[in-house]
């Protein structure tokens, strides 16, 4: 079961990584054609810049081949663990296996080709071949999406999803190339000179991709969701809402970049295009990565339109987010353990009020920690109290709380010993690691905020938040025969969204901490803290449905 859980997780996580890798390949190709003008000898960028673009494209192809290959393998492992055997012939005959294999072969082909292109970056036949390999790579995606298993509108939905993916890839891949160009500009004069032009040209390419995203995304959402309850009352719908919110934030950054590019075209020199835009792009990257992981998760959710009877009424979802009096007392271990056998039974299942109360208490107390940290951090940002810099201490307190409460049946509160429980039960082992890492996060951020010599550590916090957010979002697997599972999941999805915002805000705060960007830096930092405060509130008022 432990391996199966791990394999299931990897299967889904790989979906997000595959989308990122795919975007690096396809977005880089379009970047090279549109921005670097590789097919125009008179207009094309320098060989150094083109070679840099090829390197990123090659990295994407290697990652795509690795993730696609691993996904095929992981799927086989999941099947083997689930079925107790692996019917290889049946597995190899599935559309998923065959389309995945085609994509793997094409990705390997691109790796090989880009290896040769390193010696001749502007050799036109190579670019023609790259395009020829990329077209089937894009098309093969049609057999790897949701729509392939459907009975109605199968072909139009497959085609629309492929175009949607293509548009997203152009945006994400282009953003990655922009960041790469910015870094190259630190050592290459021609890259520095190209930067404003690249921002300006990418404005058009990005605008076109956004238009395509909307033109394809809206009908897809309409077809797969179909109602307001479906939008807000199912896992699929809530992920689409979350994706839309993140899209709006990404569009805001894109707008700021585009405005800077327009100012530059109108004659402004320097300014935001060099002092702020690179950092907006970095923050936008956090958001776009979040969007891609949500997109991957959507493919493993049942479309809302298929489960109208299981959609939770909007009022019930609102109730989950409505403030309640926090639960500050917990049932005893004996009460909790007494109800577990009935709660997990398939036949004769008996909901456990003790388990619900236990969970409420854990969430609500965790909420007190996070809300408290948020409030203290706000005092630091608003009034500059020196002592308030120590707010990350709360993470250490939270880790201690989790240590005692995560697993009721084990040491230190339960009868099963520390070593026996830690290494004898996969779930307990995972909780122990998470607890330890929460502790480490507190120690690291505390050092980062209080020790001027620990500057590099400061970037750990947003990166960890982004990972945490992505993982909360990608684990939106409601066990769909139970509405209560979705209600629980809705709070976790909202917290995942806020964690990504928190990561993006903190990153911007750190990067814009210059005399020119001081105000924006403070605002971004406050937004990050506000997001943490709201996460704390969700936890503080959390009420688990009885199930």
Which 323-352 residues touch another protein, going by CB under 8 A?
345-349
Q: What are phi and psi of 44, to 5 degrees?
A: -70, 155
Residues 55, 251, 440, 527: which binds another protein (CB under 8 A)? Answer: 440
Inter-residue contact 519 to 457 (CB < 8 Å)? no
For another protein, the binding residues in 112-171 under the rule CB under 8 A are 144-151
Under rule CB under 8 A, residue 102 binds another protein: no
- Measured from the Cβ of residue 270, the count of other Cβ atoms closer than 10 Å reads 9
SS3 434: helix
Segment near another protein (CB under 8 A); pick from 111-119, 244-252, 430-438, 518-526: 430-438
On the 0-12 / 13-18 / 19+ scale of CB atoms within 10 A, 128 is exposed
Under rule CB under 8 A, residue 92 binds another protein: no
SS (H, E, C) 51-69: HHHHHHHHHHHHHHHHHHH
Under rule CB under 8 A, residue 502 binds another protein: no
Residues 3, 47, 83, 218: which binds another protein (CB under 8 A)? Answer: 83
For another protein, the closer CB: 283 or 472: 472
The Cα 109–Cα 534 span in angstroms is: 47
For another protein, the binding residues in 265-284 under the rule CB under 8 A are none
Segment near another protein (CB under 8 A); pick from 43-51, 202-210, 296-304, 367-375: 296-304
E strand intervals along 95-170: none
The Cα 367–Cα 397 span in angstroms is: 12
Residues 3, 47, 94, 546: which binds another protein (CB under 8 A)? Answer: 94
Under rule CB under 8 A, residue 441 binds another protein: yes
For another protein, the closer CB: 214 or 433: 433
The Cα 368–Cα 283 span in angstroms is: 29
Nearest to 458 by CA among 444, 468, 471: 444
For another protein, the closer CB: 50 or 532: 532
Q: Is the peptide bond before 477 cis (omega within 30 degrees of 0)?
A: no
Under rule CB under 8 A, residue 431 binds another protein: yes
SS3 87: coil
Under rule CB under 8 A, residue 303 binds another protein: yes
Residues 464, 513, 523, 527: which binds another protein (CB under 8 A)? Answer: 464
Inter-residue contact 131 to 117 (CB < 8 Å)? no
Please name the residue ranges forming H helices in 147-301: 154-184, 189-224, 228-232, 235-265, 272-275, 277-298
For another protein, the binding residues in 35-64 under the rule CB under 8 A are none
For another protein, the closer CB: 205 or 298: 298
Nearest to 428 by CA among 445, 410, 414: 410
Least distance from another protein to the Cβ atom of residue 210, Å: 27
The Cα 396–Cα 436 span in angstroms is: 9
Under rule CB under 8 A, residue 82 binds another protein: yes
Inter-residue contact 490 to 469 (CB < 8 Å)? no
SS (H, E, C) 67-84: HHHHHHHHHHHHHHHHHC
Q: List the x/- string, 5-24, binding to another protein by CB under 8 A.
A: xx-xx-xxx-----------
Residues 416, 460, 513, 527: which binds another protein (CB under 8 A)? Answer: 460
Under rule CB under 8 A, residue 495 binds another protein: no
Under rule CB under 8 A, residue 520 binds another protein: no
Under rule CB under 8 A, residue 452 binds another protein: no
How many C-alpha atoms does 50 have within 13 Å on its Cβ side? 25
Inter-residue contact 521 to 539 (CB < 8 Å)? no
For another protein, the closer CB: 82 or 128: 82
Least distance from another protein to the Cβ atom of residue 475, Å: 4
Residues 43, 481, 515, 519: which binds another protein (CB under 8 A)? Answer: 481
The maximal CA–CA distance of the chain, rounded, in angstroms, is 79
The Cα 141–Cα 158 span in angstroms is: 9
For another protein, the closer CB: 355 or 478: 478
Residues 42, 323, 456, 519: which binds another protein (CB under 8 A)? Answer: 456
Under rule CB under 8 A, residue 296 binds another protein: no
Under rule CB under 8 A, residue 1 binds another protein: no
For another protein, the closer CB: 16 or 60: 16
Residues 136, 219, 226, 302: which binds another protein (CB under 8 A)? Answer: 302
How many C-alpha atoms does 170 have within 13 Å on its Cβ side? 23
Least distance from another protein to the Cβ atom of residue 78, Å: 6
Under rule CB under 8 A, residue 101 binds another protein: no
For another protein, the closer CB: 30 or 472: 472
For another protein, the binding residues in 367-426 under the rule CB under 8 A are 406, 426
Least distance from another protein to the Cβ atom of residue 476, Å: 9
Nearest to 334 by CA among 311, 367, 358, 368: 358
CA 46 to chain CA mean position, Å: 34
For another protein, the binding residues in 184-213 under the rule CB under 8 A are none
Under rule CB under 8 A, residue 468 binds another protein: yes
For residue 500, the surrounding DSSP H or E stretch is helix 483-511
Q: Look up residue 216 and give its two tokens.
A: 């394809």
Number of residues that bind another protein (CB under 8 A): 73
Least distance from another protein to the Cβ atom of residue 302, Å: 4
């Amino acid at each position: 079961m432990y391996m199966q859980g791990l394999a299931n997780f990897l299967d889904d996580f790989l979906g997000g990584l595959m989308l990122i890798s795919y975007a690096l390949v396809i977005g880089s190709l379009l970047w090279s054609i549109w921005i670097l003008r590789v097919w125009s000898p008179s207009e094309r960028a320098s060989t150094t810049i083109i070679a840099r673009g090829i390197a990123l494209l090659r990295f994407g192809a290697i990652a795509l081949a690795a993730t696609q290959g691993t996904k095929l393998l992981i799927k086989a492992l999941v099947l083997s663990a689930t079925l107790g055997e692996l019917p290889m012939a049946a597995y190899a005959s599935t559309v998923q296996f065959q389309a995945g294999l085609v994509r793997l072969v094409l990705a390997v082909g691109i790796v090989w080709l880009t290896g040769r292109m390193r010696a001749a970056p502007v050799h036109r036949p190579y670019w023609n071949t790259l395009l020829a390999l990329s077209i089937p790579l894009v098309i093969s995606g049609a057999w790897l999406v949701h729509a392939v298993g459907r009975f109605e509108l199968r072909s139009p939905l497959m085609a629309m999803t492929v175009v949607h993916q293509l548009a997203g890839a152009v945006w994400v891949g282009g953003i990655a190339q922009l960041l790469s160009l910015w870094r190259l500009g630190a050592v290459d004069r021609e890259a520095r000179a190209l930067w404003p032009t690249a921002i300006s040209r990418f404005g058009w390419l990005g605008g076109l991709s956004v238009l395509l995203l909307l033109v394809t995304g809206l009908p897809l959402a309409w077809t797969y969701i179909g109602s307001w309850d479906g939008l807000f009352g199912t896992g699929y719908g809530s992920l689409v809402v979350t994706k839309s919110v993140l899209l709006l934030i990404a569009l805001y950054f894109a707008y700021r970049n585009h405005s800077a590019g327009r100012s530059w075209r109108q004659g402004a020199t320097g300014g935001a295009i060099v002092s702020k835009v690179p950092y907006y792009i970095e923050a936008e990257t956090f958001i776009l990565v979040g969007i891609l992981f949500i997109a991957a998760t959507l493919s493993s959710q049942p479309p809302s339109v298929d489960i109208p009877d299981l959609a939770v009424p909007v009022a019930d979802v609102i109730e989950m987010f409505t403030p309640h009096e926090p639960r500050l007392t917990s049932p005893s271990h004996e009460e909790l353990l007494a109800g577990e056998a009935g709660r997990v039974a398939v036949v004769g299942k008996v909901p456990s009020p003790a388990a619900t109360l236990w969970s409420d208490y854990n969430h609500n107390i965790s909420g007190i920690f996070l809300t408290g940290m948020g409030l203290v951090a706000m005092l630091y940002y608003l009034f500059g109290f020196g002592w308030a810099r120590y707010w990350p201490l709360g993470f250490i307190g939270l880790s201690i709380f989790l240590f005692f409460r995560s697993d009721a049946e084990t040491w230190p509160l339960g009868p099963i010993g520390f070593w026996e429980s830690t290494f004898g039960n996969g779930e307990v082992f995972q909780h122990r690691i998470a607890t330890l890492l929460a502790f480490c996060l507190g120690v690291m951020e505390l050092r980062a905020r209080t020790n001027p010599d620990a500057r590099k550590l400061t970037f750990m916090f947003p990166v960890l938040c982004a990972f945490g957010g992505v993982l909360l979002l990608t684990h939106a697997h409601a066990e769909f025969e139970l509405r209560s599972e979705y209600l629980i999941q809705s709070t976790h999805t909202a917290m995942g969204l806020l964690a990504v915002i928190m990561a993006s805000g903190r990153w911007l705060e750190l990067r814009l901490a210059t005399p020119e960007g001081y105000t924006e830096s403070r605002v971004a930092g406050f937004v990050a803290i506000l997001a943490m405060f709201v996460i704390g509130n969700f936890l503080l008022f959390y009420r688990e449905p009885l199930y």
